C-alpha cells in the first residue's frame, strides 16, 4: 500500500540522517536482522547530598551555658506550677492513684516517668550532709539531680549512694540513685528488674 511505502521511505531517510557514516547495505542489513529500538537517555541529575545538621558538642553546650539556670530564676515559687503539672502527668500515667492501685504497677510507671517537676527528699545517704534535702527536680542528668529547695537554693545532688523519696496522693516511692544512673531518655526505654535487697 501507498502508506507503507511512505513509511519505509521515511524510516530509511531518518536512519540515513541519523547514521550518515553507515552505508545503505549496512542499514538494510540492520533492519532485516533485528528491530531497532530508539531510546532517549536523559542526563542523570546528580543528587545533592544533604548536609546533616550537627548538634552542639558537650563542650560547646558548656561554653554556651545552655543548661545553666540564671540566679534570678532560682526561686522555688517559680517552679511550683511545674510541680502541679507533674502531679497531673503522673495521675494520668497511672490512670489515677487510687487506694486499690497495685504498688508494683505504680512503681514500674514511676521508674520510667519523667521526674522534672517532682518534689523529692534525700532520705538516706553515705554523705550525711545530703540527708533531708527537699525540693523540686529542675534537671536530671546521668549522675546528678539539680534540685531547687524552699530556701531558693539550687542543690546538685549526686544519684550515687543516695536514696530519694517522692510522695504523691499518699503514695510514697523510693528511688535508689545507684540503680538510677541513666539519662531520662535512656531510662524510658530500659527494662528494670525487681530485686529483693538494694544497698546504697
Lowest pLDDT segment from 8-12, 13-17, 43-47? 43-47
What secondary structure letter does DSSP report for 182? S
Residue 71 vs residue 84, higher pLDDT: 84
Helix or strand run (H / E) with residue 5: helix 2-18
- 113, 93 contact by CB (below 8 A): yes
Give me the chain's average pLDDT, please. Answer: 81
User: pLDDT confidence of 19, banded at 50, 70, 90?
Assistant: confident
Backbone angles phi, psi at 103, to 5 degrees: -60, -40
Q: Which residues fall within 8 angstroms of residue 124, CB to CB, at 6 or more apart?
A: 131, 162, 163, 200
Give CA–CA dist 43/37, Å, rounded: 19
- 87, 168 contact by CB (below 8 A): yes
Does the pLDDT value for residue 149 go beyond 90?
A: yes
Backbone angles phi, psi at 17, to 5 degrees: -75, -35
Torsion of CA 132, 65, 58, 85, to 10 degrees: 50
Average pLDDT over residues 14-22: 74
Give CA–CA dist 185/192, Å, rounded: 14
What secondary structure letter does DSSP report for 68? P
Q: What is the pLDDT of residues 29-74, one digit of tens each?
A: 766 655 555 555 666 777 767 766 677 787 887 787 777 888 888 8
Q: What is the pLDDT of residues 155-183, one digit of tens each?
A: 999 999 999 999 888 888 888 888 888 88
Does the pLDDT value for residue 75 go beyond 80?
A: yes
Q: Which pLDDT belongs to residue 94?
A: 82
| pTM exceeds 0.85 | no
| Bridge partners, 119 (sequence order) | 136
Instruction: Please name each of the domains of the chain with its CATH number.
Output: 1-32 (no CATH), 71-189 (2.30.30.210)
Torsion of CA 85, 91, 93, 97, to 10 degrees: 160
* Cell numbers representing residue 108 in the block: 514500674
Average pLDDT over residues 81-87: 94
Amino acid at each position: 500500500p501507498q502508506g507503507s511505502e511512505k513509511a519505509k521511505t521515511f524510516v530509511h531517510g531518518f536512519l540515513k540522517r541519523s547514521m550518515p557514516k553507515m552505508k545503505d547495505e549496512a542499514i538494510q542489513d540492520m533492519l532485516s536482522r533485528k528491530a531497532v529500538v530508539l531510546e532517549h537517555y536523559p542526563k542523570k541529575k546528580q543528587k545533592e547530598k544533604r548536609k546533616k545538621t550537627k548538634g552542639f558538642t558537650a563542650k560547646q553546650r558548656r561554653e554556651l551555658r545552655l543548661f545553666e539556670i540564671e540566679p534570678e530564676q532560682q526561686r522555688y515559687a517559680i517552679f511550683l506550677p511545674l510541680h502541679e503539672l507533674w502531679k497531673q502527668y503522673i495521675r494520668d500515667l497511672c490512670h489515677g492513684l487510687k487506694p486499690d492501685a497495685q504498688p508494683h504497677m505504680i512503681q514500674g510507671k514511676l521508674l520510667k516517668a519523667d521526674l522534672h517537676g517532682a518534689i523529692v527528699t534525700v532520705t538516706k545517704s553515705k554523705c550525711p550532709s545530703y540527708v533531708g534535702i527537699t525540693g523540686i527536680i529542675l534537671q536530671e542528668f546521668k549522675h546528678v539531680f539539680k534540685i531547687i529547695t524552699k530556701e531558693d537554693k539550687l542543690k546538685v545532688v549526686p544519684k550515687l549512694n543516695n536514696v530519694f523519696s517522692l510522695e504523691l496522693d499518699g503514695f510514697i516511692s523510693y528511688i535508689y540513685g545507684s540503680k538510677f544512673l541513666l539519662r531520662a531518655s535512656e531510662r524510658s526505654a530500659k527494662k528494670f528488674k525487681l530485686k529483693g535487697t538494694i544497698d546504697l
